Amino acid sequence: MDDFHFLHGTWDVANRKLTRLFADRDEWEEFPGRATVRPLLGGLGNIDEITFPTHGWAGTTLRLYDLATRKWSIHWASSRTGRLDPPVVGGFDGDRGV
């Protein structure tokens, strides 16, 4: 369950996203962020908050490890919508996320 321990701490983050999804072009927008990540539940999860000062919004990621399935659930919430999105669920095969 050490899969995401490397994230713990406070970080200045360089973000990059496509300006238009599913378009036939490769234009990227770059913008700064600041993330703080801490462990939860004795290592069975972590939570982060990231702020995007040039965009005026923030987000939170909640990662939880399911002991029965040996998979991670990664949930995202944003101050733009105020809702918790459905999780992305998966695990690791060696060093590879699946």
Domain assignment of residue 27, given as a range: 5-97
d(CA 4, CA 73): 12
Give 17-58 pLDDT, tens digit per residue. Answer: 888 888 787 889 999 999 999 999 998 999 999 999 999 999
CB 16 within 8 A of CB 32: no
Per the structure, how many domains does the chain have? 1
pLDDT at 60: 97
Mean pLDDT of the chain: 91
pLDDT at 1: 60
68-72, long-range: CB < 8 A, 24+ apart: 72/3, 72/4
Beta strands 57-66 and 45-52 are antiparallel
